[in-house]
Amino acid sequence: MAEQDRRLWDASMVAEGVALISEALPRGPTGPYQLQAAIAALHDEAASDAETDWPQILALYQVLAKISPSPVLTLNKAVAIARTSGPLAGLAALGELEGDERMAGNHRVEAVRAHLLEQAGFHAEANAAYRKAARLTTSVPEQRYLQRKALTLPEH
CATH number of the domain encompassing residue 119 = 1.25.40.10
Give yes or no: residues 105 and 147 share one domain: yes
Domain boundary among 69, 90, 124: 69
CB atoms within 10 A of CB 105: 9
Radius of gyration of the chain (CA): 17
Whether the CB-CB separation of 31 and 67 falls below 8 Å is answered with yes
CB atoms within 10 A of CB 101: 7
Give yes or no: residues 59 and 79 share one domain: no
Give yes or no: residues 75 and 151 share one domain: yes
What's the confidence (pLDDT) of residue 156? 57
Q: What is the pLDDT along the chain (156 residues), one digit of tens a residue?
A: 566 666 777 778 877 887 887 787 777 788 899 899 999 999 988 888 889 999 999 999 999 999 999 999 999 999 999 999 999 999 999 999 999 999 988 999 999 999 999 999 999 999 999 999 999 999 999 999 999 999 999 875
Give yes or no: residues 110 and 154 share one domain: yes
Whole domain around residue 11: which residue ranges? 1-69
Give yes or no: residues 103 and 148 share one domain: yes
Domain boundary among 69, 85, 102: 69
Structural domain tally of the chain? 2
Give yes or no: residues 64 and 90 share one domain: no
Say whether 10 sits in a helix, a strand or coil. coil
What's the confidence (pLDDT) of residue 92? 98
Cα→Cα distances 7→14, 20, 37, 155, Å:
11, 21, 20, 34
Give yes or no: residues 84 and 65 share one domain: no
Domain boundary among 38, 69, 100: 69
Which residues lie below 8 Å from residue 98, measured CB to CB, with a gap of 6+? none
Give yes or no: residues 96 and 121 share one domain: yes
Task: Report phi then psi at 36, rounded to 5.
Answer: -65, -40
